Structure 1
């Protein structure tokens, strides 16, 4: 009688451990925001195209395209830093390091986190956005606790099956 209860208990425990992605990670603390600045050429494969309200080839972009000289000095400095960066951009973590004249939405749209800047006869997309990074404890849960719990649950299920088959 004890063996069937042990088999059911092991199988139940194993399934609960294997189902840990359903209840882990548990958010601990607030997300850690970073503020990114990215510059890339405006062209195909980008939100600036024929279907976009900001189409460089059509005549409908007079309000959306900003001349480099018309950017605020701090925005020009951020554009230059992102443009000259080998990665095509940079990020800052301190909210005080953001550029006051730029917006940092989580989902940029033309005019709000996405500017089309005309610079040296070329048009560039200048993206500014807020990226919410998970706290370190959540990352540790994803990287360590979830895989270990899943593997442990799998082994417990195997032990329950072996115990159940060994009884017959």
Structure 2
């Protein structure tokens, strides 16, 4: 009888520990936003490949923007993102460029501009990326895998204990 309780307890604990992705990580603190800037050439498969320059006198936000029409801070951010292979990010809200928007889901004209620069067209992406706090990252890297392994070994121990009891009866 004791062995059956031990087997049932080990199986219950093991299943609970292996199911940890359902309840871990526990959010600790607020997400940590970063503001990213990336520039890449407009290619044929791009969602903005067919965007044309706005007609004269009809300056719309969803057309091609000439590099010279960007304000000096936006030009500096564009240049910096163009020079950096993967773009760049800033941590503080006051380090963002005031004339650019930073949505979580950029759309053409809101976080995504098509900029014509030296005869080429580029996608200029600005967005807000919410990063997980360090404690949540630690849970994902250390606690979840260790809890899963502990649960797996508990289920194995339950199976071994149950098998041993069966073989002792015979």
Using the alignment, how far apart are the partners of 1:135 and 1:123 within structure 2? 37
In the alignment, structure 1 residue 16 sits paired with structure 2 residue 21: no
Could you say which residue in structure 2 is the equivalent of 1:52?
A: none
5+ residue gaps in structure 2?
Answer: 55-59
* RMSD, aligned α-carbons: 1.0
In the alignment, structure 1 residue 75 sits paired with structure 2 residue 74: yes
5+ residue gaps in structure 1?
Answer: 50-54
Q: Which runs of 4+ in 1 moved over 3 A?
A: none
Q: What is the TM-score with the length of structure 2 in the denominator?
A: 0.90
Alpha-carbon contact 1:114-1:125 (below 8 Å) kept: yes
Could you say which residue in structure 2 is the equivalent of 1:92?
A: 90
One of 156, 159, 167 as aligned partner of 2:157: 159
Report 1:1-168 matches (<5 A).
Answer: 1-49=1-49, 55-56=50-51, 59=52, 61-62=53-54, 63=60, 64-85=63-84, 87-168=85-166
Please identify the structure whose Cα radius of gyration is greater: 2
Q: Displacement of 1:88 after TM fit?
A: 4.0
Aligned length: 159
Using the alignment, how far apart are the partners of 1:30 and 1:2 within structure 2? 46
Using the alignment, how far apart are the partners of 1:159 and 1:47 within structure 2? 54
